A = this chain, B = another copy of it.
């Protein structure tokens, strides 16, 4: 009953789930769902997740989607996952839930929307929407400020002042890593005011390597292709080159 993970490495929640499995010695089969080819909308995948989103898992006859639910399920199901990822203590666990719930309507909403509207849409067959991107950038910046001033308070290096990372660190840092594919000038404008966030990203990366780098090599490849272009769009040549990168998944 090997775990199957339906995934695409362009998706930040997918990367979090796969890094978690690799770190914790959870064996799995990674099944690519090509977002560039729209495979998530095909009947075969919608039988796994009718919401047409990755990641989704199949574990024996059991199916599950939503990355936070998957991370919690894996932490509770597979033996040997260290407690710091998803603590058994009810109060500590509830704080992790609080971060993850907050994430949905704040960092995730702002960041994913910003990257999609300012950069990814043309690569996935749509159009840029710079007005929507501006609204999402505000929410993204506000969310990063809350991480800097509130969630990273305390003695430890990680969220909630913890000394070791939890699934919340992994989920949120994988989200912010998506900013690698926007132009450097935009990424710097958004991230550079938040020194503790930058240090925490580095600490999370170090705590989860070599898998963190392995899972992010794909978006760094995409970044390299997109690099020449400015924030107001991508040229036709870049678009074709980046679609070639995307079609690998």
A residues near B (Cβ < 8 Å) are 50-51, 62, 64-70, 72-73, 76-77, 90-91, 93-95, 97-98, 100-102, 104-105, 108-109, 146, 149-150
In contact, A51 and B90 (Cβ under 8 angstroms): no
Q: Is the CB–CB distance between B68 and A91 below 8 Å?
A: no
User: Judging by beta carbons under 8 Å apart, are B50 and A150 in contact?
Assistant: yes
Contact B94 A51 (CB under 8 A): no
B146/A50 in contact, CB under 8 A = yes
Q: Which residues of B contact A72 (CB under 8 A)?
A: 94, 97
Pair A109/B105 contact, Cβ less than 8 Å: yes
- Residues of chain B within 8 A (CB-CB) of A66 are 97-98, 101-102
Complex: how many Å from CA A162 to CA B77? Answer: 22
Give the residue name and chain of the B residue nearest to A70 (CB).
B94
Contact A98 B65 (CB under 8 A): yes
What is the bound-complex CA distance between A51 and B101, given in angstroms?
A: 12
User: With contacts A94-B69, A94-B73, A97-B69 known, is A102 near B62, CB below 8 A?
Assistant: no
* Contact among B69, B91, B108 for A98, CB-based, below 8 A: B69
**B residues less than 8 Å from A90 (CB atoms):** 73, 76-77
The distance in angstroms between the C-alpha atoms of A77 and B89, with both chains bound, is 11
CB-CB under 8 A from A108, the residues of chain B are 105
Q: In the complex the two chains form, what is the Cα distance from A76 to B94 in whole Å?
A: 10
Partner of A101, one of B77, B95, B104, B109: B104
Residues of B within 8 A of A70 (CB): 94
A50–B106 Cα gap in the complex (Å)?
Answer: 14
Shortest distance from the beta carbon of A164 to any chain B beta carbon, whole Å: 20
CA A82 to CA B104, docked complex, whole Å:
28
List 30 A–B pairs whose Cβ atoms lie within 8 Å, in order of A's numbering.
A50-B150, A51-B102, A51-B146, A62-B91, A64-B94, A64-B95, A65-B102, A66-B97, A66-B101, A66-B102, A67-B101, A68-B101, A69-B95, A69-B98, A69-B101, A70-B94, A72-B94, A73-B90, A73-B91, A73-B94, A73-B97, A76-B90, A76-B93, A77-B90, A100-B101, A101-B104, A104-B104, A104-B105, A105-B105, A105-B109
**Nearest neighbor of A75 in chain B, beta-carbon distance:** B90
Smallest Cβ-Cβ distance to A149: which chain B residue:
B50
Among A73, A94, A95, A150, the one with the most B-chain Cβ atoms within 10 Å of its Cβ is: A94
Once the chains are docked, how many angstroms separate the CA of A90 from the CA of B81? Answer: 15
